[in-house]
Chain A
Amino acid sequence: MEDLTSLKQEKENQELAEIGPPWEGVTAVSSQDPEPELSQPFESEQGLETESGSRSSPPPSPQARVSTPLGEVIGAGAPSPPSPLREASSMPSPLALAMQDFAAPSPSQSDRTPSVIPESETQHSDHLEQSSDEMEENTFQQSQLPEFHLFEEPREVDNNNFQQKELRFDILEEEDSNSNYELSQPEPGASEVAPSMLEIAIQNAKAYLQQTSSNSGLNLYDHLSNMLTKILDERPENPVDIIENISQDVKMAHFSKKLDTLQNENEMLPAYEIAEKQKALFLQGNLEGADQELEEEIVENCLPNIMESAFYFEQAGVGLGADETYRICLALKQLTDTHPIQKCRFWGKILGMEMNYIVAEVEYREGEDEEEVEEEDVVEERDNGESEADEDNEDEDELPRSFHKAPQVIPKEESRTGTNKYVYFVCNEPGRPWVKLPSVVPAQIVIARKIKKFFTGRLDAPVISYPPFPGNESNYLRAQIARISAGTHVSPLGFYQFGEEEGEEEEEVEGGRDSFEENPDFEGIQVIDLVESLSNWVHHVQHILPQGRCNWFNPTQKSEEEEEEDEEKEEEEEKEEPDSIEQEVGPPLLTPISEDLEIQNTPPWTTRLSSNLIPQYAIAILRSNLWPGAYAFSNGKKFENFYIGWGHKYSPDNYTPPVSPPVQQEYPSGPEITEMDDPSVEEEQAFRTAQAAAVLPAEENEETEEDEDEEDDYDQ
C-alpha cells in the first residue's frame, strides 16, 4: 500500500513539478498576490497525501485529489461548529504548518519549494526551542484534546492531521499572528467550492476503516484510536520506533480480558505459600517474648551470628543476598529453639537441579535422640539372618555353598566422633521444615568418592550410579558434607588446641588425638601472615581415611572378636584374610594446610586479602581449589568456614567411572578336577590276579575296596 501511494506521489510530484515552478515563482515574488492562495492548496494537498496516504490509506480517486485540496482546507477550518471557539480560530494554522512541515522532510518537495520552507522551517524550529516551556504548560490541554478529536468528531483525514499536529497546536496559535496570517486569509474565499466532494471522500475512507475484520472482530478505526490513546496516555519516548509493539499490545489487551477467569487464581500460589511459611519465621520472636530469661539461656551460645560472618564473606565476594541470609538466620533460630542443640553453625548451601539445600551443622546437648541405634540394629539383623540361613543349608545337603563372602562391613563411627561428630540439618528454603540427615556410614563415603552426581534437591531421590550407592540422596548428601567438611574446614593456627586432660583419656588407639578445644590464650594472628603463609591455617576436622572413617578400624582383629562363637568360620577367615592389614594413617588433627596434597600442579588453596586499597582493615580470605565453593575468612581473631556450590570435588581431568571389578578366575585344573581314564580290561584283569594272590591276608579290606569301585562306576 505504501509503495503504491508513494509511487502515485512520485507521479504527482512530477506532474506538480511541471506545474509547480510558476506558482512558486509567484509565491516567491510576493505572498500577497492572489496566486499563493492557489499554490498553497497544492502544497497542502501534497502534505496531506503523504500523511493520509501512508497512514490510513483511503484511496481517493485522482480526481478527488486534484479537486479536493481547496475543499480540504476549508473542510478543516470552516464546517466545525461543535469544536471550541479557540480551536476553530486556530484551525487553519495547523494545516498550513502541516503542509510546510511535510514540505520540509521530503527532499523532492523541498527542492521545489525553496522559498517557502526556509522561513517557515526556521521559524518553526526556533519556535520549538523557545516554546519548550510553553509545551509543558500546555500539556494539560493537549492531553485532553486528542481524545476529544478522536471520539467526538471523527473525520479521517483531517483528524489524522490534527493528531499529528496537535502537539504544536498551541504554539502555533501564536505564530498565527505573525507569519501565518497570510495563509489563513485565503480560506474564507475558498470555502464554498466543494464541500460535497470532501464529505464523500471522508465518508468513503471512514467506512473503509470501520470495516470489521472477519477474524478478530476489530476494525482499524477503533484500533488506531486506541493506539493513539495509549500513546498519548503513556507518552513513551520515540513512539514511532515502537509503534508495532504498541499495536500488538493494544490488540492483546483487547483479548486478554476473557482469559482472566481461568488464569488468575492459581498462578501465585507457591509464592503465597512460601511467604506464609516465612512469616512464621519473622513472628517467632514475638511468640517467645514472654519468657525472655529462658530464651536468653538457651539461645546465648548456640545461635551463630550469621549476619556478622555474612558481612565478612561479603568482603570476600561470596555469600547469599542480604535478605536470604537473614531468612536463614531466622530459620536457624527456629531450629535451635525446637531442638536440644548445644552448638549450631551455618554450614553452607549446596545447589541442586530442582531445589537447593541449606545445611546447618549442629551439636546436640547431652540428651540425644536414639534413632540411630535402631538403624544399626536393622543392619546387623540382616547380616545375622543371612548367615543363619547359610548354616542351615550346610546341614541339610552337602553340595558346596558359595565361598564368596561380602567384604566386611566397616561399622560407622559413633555419633559425636569422627565423621559423625556433628549432626546436619537441611532444608530447601528458609521457612521450610528442617530435615535431619542420617549419620554417615563408611561405605557411603567410599562409594561417594567414586561417583559424581548432581543433587536433585529431593532428599528421597534415588542415586543411580555405578558402583551402586548404598542409600538415597540424603545419604549421598551427608557423605559429601562429611568429605567437604574434612577437606575444607580450617582455622587460624592456635585458635584450637588439644584438650590436655581429655586427650590422654581418649587416646585409646594410635590414630592421634581427636578432640580439641578453643584456646583461651589465643591472641590472634596478623592478617598479613594469614595471607602470606598457608602454614598459619590448620585443619580442625579429622582427615577421612580411605577406609571411610576418621579413626582406624581394624577389620581382621574385630572380626575375630565378633565371631568367636562360630569356630568353623573363624578358621576360614583366618585363611583368607591376610593377618595384618597395614593401618591407614592420614594427617593428624590440626595439621597446617600447607601440607595438603597438590592437585596436578594446582595449589590446593588460594589466599587473598579482601581489599588492596585499605589493607589495614582487610581480612584474609582463603579459597579452596580442591572443593570449588569452599571459603574461609579470618580477621585474625575470628574465622568462619562456608561452602556454596554443587558439592563436587575439583579435578583437572574429567571424571572416569571406576573400572569394573576383576573377573573371578575359574578353578585351576588340578588333580581334584581331572579324572582318570576308565580302567581298561587288562588293568582289571591284572588287578583280579593280584587280588587272587592276596585273598587270604585281607578279606575285610577287599570288600570295602570293591564297594568303592562300584560307587565310582555309578558316578560315571
Chain B
Amino acid sequence: MDAESLLLSLELASGSGQGLSPDRRASLLTSLLLVKRDYRYHRVLFWGRILGIMADYYIAQGLSEDQLAPRKTLYSLNCMEWSLLPPATEEMALQTSVLKGRFMGDPSHEYEHTEMQKVKEGEKFFDEEVVVQIKEETRLVSIIDQIDKAVAIIPRGALFKTPFGPIHVNRTFEGLSLSEAKKLSSYFHFREPIELKNKTLLEKADLDPSLDFMDSLEHDIPKGSWSIQMERGNALVVLRSLLWPGLTFYHAPRTKNCGYIYVGTGEKNIDLPFML
C-alpha cells in the first residue's frame, strides 16, 4: 500500500483483521516520509509485516520511477529505524529453502541446519554432516522476494508502459469497473512478466501492449490460489492469497484506491492442494 495514503489503505484492508496500532501508524507516517527523502525513492510502499516470535518485522519498499525496476526493501523492528536489505539472489532462495518454522524476530539470529554432504576421499565417498548456519536476515530477504514474485498484484491499467520502456503509474486510471473487478484476469502480477513470452500470437492478439505487459493472475497454479470477495456491498473487492496466507489485496472499484499488504508468518502454504 502506498505510504502516502496509509491510513485509508489500512482502513480498506482491515477486513482481514490486519491492522496497525495507533502508535505504529503514526511512526510509519513519519518515518516512511523520511525514508522517501533519504533514499530518494519515487514512491514508498508499506509492504507489510512478518510476524516473528519475539518481534515483528515491518517491511517497506522503495520504488524508482520505473515501477517494475528492482525494488529496494527495508525492514524495521520499531517502525522508526529502517535498514536496507540486500537484494535477493537465487542462491539465497536455494539456501533458505531448507528452513522451516517461524521467524524469530532477530535479524542476527542464526539458524543451524545440518545437511549431509558427500566428501570424496580417494576413491570412496563419505557422508559427512555439515552444519550450515543461515542468518535470519538472509531468510527474510529471500521470503520477501518470493512473496513479491508470487503474489504482489496490481489491477490492470494502474500502470502503463511508456513508449520508451519504463513503466509508470497511470494517472488516468479510474479503477476497475464492477464487472472487471470480479475477474482474476483484470489483476496482474506486480513483477516482470514470465509467462507472457510463452503465449502464442493468438493469445496475445487481444492484449494492449501499453497495459497488458505483465502476467495476469488467472493462470496461477494451482487454480484457486486466490479468494476473491466483494465486501461492504460492492464497494470493495478483496483478494486474499491462499498460497501465501496473509497477503490481502484491496481495491475499491471505480477509484484509484488499491494496494496490497502482507501480514503473516512468512511461510508458504504448501498444503494448498489438500485444503481446496
Q: What's the least CB distance linking A586 to chain B, in Å? A: 25
Q: Which of B54, B170, B232, B234 contacts A268 (CB 8 A)?
A: B234
Q: Which residues of A contact B129 (CB under 8 A)?
A: none
Q: Which residues of B lie under 8 Å from residue A657 when comparing CB positions? A: 274
Decide yes or no whether B15 CB sits under 8 A from chain A.
Answer: yes
The stretch of B140-148, B171-179, B187-195, B198-206 that contacts the partner chain: B171-179
Contacts of A454 in B (CB 8 A): 227, 242, 275-276
| In contact, A600 and B101 (Cβ under 8 angstroms) | yes
The reply to whether the CB of A317 lies closer than 8 angstroms to some CB of chain B is yes
B17: CB under 8 A from chain A? yes
Given A245-B170, A317-B24, CB of A349 within 8 Å of CB of B179: no
> B275 touching A453 by the CB < 8 A rule?
yes
Q: Is the CB of B227 within 8 A of A267?
A: no
CB of B274 within 8 A of CB of A356, answer no
Interface residue from B14, B21, B102, B230 paired with A316 (Cβ < 8 Å): B21
Total interface residues on A, using CB and 8 Å?
A: 61
Number of A-B contacts (CB under 8 A): 118
Chain A nearest CB, measured from B212 CB (Å): 14
Chain B residues lying within 8 Å of A470, measured Cβ to Cβ, are none
Does A307 touch B at the CB level, under 8 Å? no
- Alpha-carbon gap, A614 to B22, bound state (A): 12
Is B270 on the interface with A (CB-CB < 8 A)?
A: yes
Q: Is B233 a contact of A271 with CB atoms below 8 Å?
A: yes
A270 CB within 8 Å of chain B: yes
Contact indicator per residue, chain A 644-659, by CB within 8 Å of chain B (1) or not (0): 1110101011110100
Question: Chain B, 12-28, contact with A by CB distance < 8 Å: what is the 0/1 string?
Answer: 10111111111110000
B53 touches A356 (CB 8 A): no
Interface residue from B18, B20, B100, B275 paired with A452 (Cβ < 8 Å): B275
CB distance from A485 to the nearest CB of B (A): 17
- Please state if A644 and B17 are interface contacts (CB–CB under 8 Å): yes
Contacts of B18 in A (CB 8 A): 318
Q: Are A452 and B101 in contact (CB under 8 A)?
A: no
Contact of A275 with B by CB under 8 A? yes
Question: CA A273 – CA B234 in complex, angstroms?
Answer: 10
Residue of A with least CB distance to B227:
A353
Cβ of A244 and Cβ of B23 under 8 Å apart?
A: no
Min CB distance B80 to A, Å, is 10
By a CB distance below 8 angstroms, the chain B residues around A268 are 178, 234
Q: How large is the interface on B (under 10, 10 to 19, 20 to 34, 35 or more residues)?
A: 35 or more
B-contacting residues, A347-363, CB 8 Å: 349, 351-356
Question: Is B21 a contact partner of A317 (Cβ separation < 8 A)?
Answer: yes
A596 CB–B CB distance under 8 Å: no
Residues A655 and B15 in contact in the complex (CB < 8 Å), given A271-B235, A351-B240, A601-B101 = no
Residue of B nearest to A355 (CB): B229
Within 8 Å CB of B101, what residues of A? 600-602, 652
Interface membership of A19, Cβ < 8 A: no
Which B residue's beta carbon lies closest to that of A248?
B172
Q: CB < 8 Å: which of A246, A271, A645 contacts B17?
A: A645
* Contact in complex: B54, A356 (CB < 8 Å): no
Please provide the chain B residues from 120 to 178 with a CB less than 8 Å away from any CB of chain A in the complex. Answer: 160, 170-172, 178
Quick check: is B107 within 8 A (CB to CB) of the other chain? no
Is B11 on the interface with A (CB-CB < 8 A)? yes
- Of the listed stretches A113-121, A291-299, A605-613, chain B binds A605-613
B residues in contact with A316, CB < 8 Å:
21
Picked from A244, A353, A452, A602, the residue with its CB within 8 Å of the CB of B102 is A602
Encode contact with B along A194-219: 1 for CB under 8 Å, 0 otherwise.
00000000000000000000000000
Query: Shortest distance in angstroms between B184's beta carbon and chain A's nearest beta carbon?
Result: 13
Residue of A nearest to B273 (CB): A655
| CA of A275 to CA of B242, assembled, Å | 29
Q: Is the CB of A242 within 8 A of B172?
A: yes
Q: Mark B192-227, 1 if CB is under 8 A from A, else 0.
A: 000000000000000000100000000000001001
Q: Does A661 contact B (CB under 8 A)?
A: no
Q: A317, B172: Cβ atoms under 8 Å? A: no
Q: A274-B233, A602-B53 are in contact. Are A655 and B100 (CB under 8 A)?
A: no
Contact indicator per residue, chain A 300-319, by CB within 8 Å of chain B (1) or not (0): 00000000000000111111
CB distance from B134 to the nearest CB of A (A): 15
**A320 at interface by CB-CB < 8 Å:** yes
Which residues of A have CB within 8 Å of B229?
354-356
Contact string, A253-274, partner B, CB cutoff 8 A, digits 1/0? 0000000000000011011111
Q: Which of B68-110 contact A (CB under 8 A)?
A: 78, 100-102
Bound Cα distance A655, B267 (Å) = 13
Residues in A neighbouring B242, C-beta threshold 8 A: 353, 454
Cα A275 to Cα B233 in complex, Å, equals: 7
B234 touches A654 (CB 8 A): no
Cα A503 to Cα B74 in complex, Å, equals 56
The chain B residue with its CB closest to the CB of A263 is B179
Which residues in window 606-653 of A have CB below 8 A to B?
A: 606, 610-614, 623, 625, 628-629, 644-646, 648, 650, 652-653
A308 to chain B, nearest CB (A): 15
CA distance A271 to B224 in the complex (A): 25
B271 within 8 A of A: yes
Q: Which residues of chain A have a CB within 8 Å of any CB of chain B? A: 236, 241-242, 244-246, 249, 267-268, 270-275, 314-322, 324, 349, 351-356, 429, 451-454, 600-603, 606, 610-614, 623, 625, 628-629, 644-646, 648, 650, 652-655, 657
15 extra interchain contacts, Cβ-Cβ under 8 A, other than A267-B179, A613-B23? A242-B171, A246-B172, A249-B172, A272-B233, A315-B22, A317-B19, A318-B19, A319-B17, A322-B11, A602-B53, A602-B102, A611-B23, A623-B51, A644-B16, A654-B271
Interface positions of B (Cβ within 8 A of A):
11-12, 14-24, 51, 53-54, 78, 100-102, 160, 170-172, 178-179, 210, 224, 227, 229-235, 240, 242, 245, 264-265, 270-271, 274-276
Question: Could you give 28 example pairs across A and B, Cβ below 8 Å?
Answer: A244-B210, A245-B170, A271-B233, A271-B234, A273-B233, A274-B233, A314-B19, A317-B19, A317-B20, A320-B15, A321-B11, A352-B227, A356-B15, A429-B231, A452-B274, A453-B274, A454-B242, A601-B101, A603-B53, A606-B53, A611-B21, A612-B78, A614-B23, A623-B51, A628-B265, A646-B245, A652-B102, A655-B271
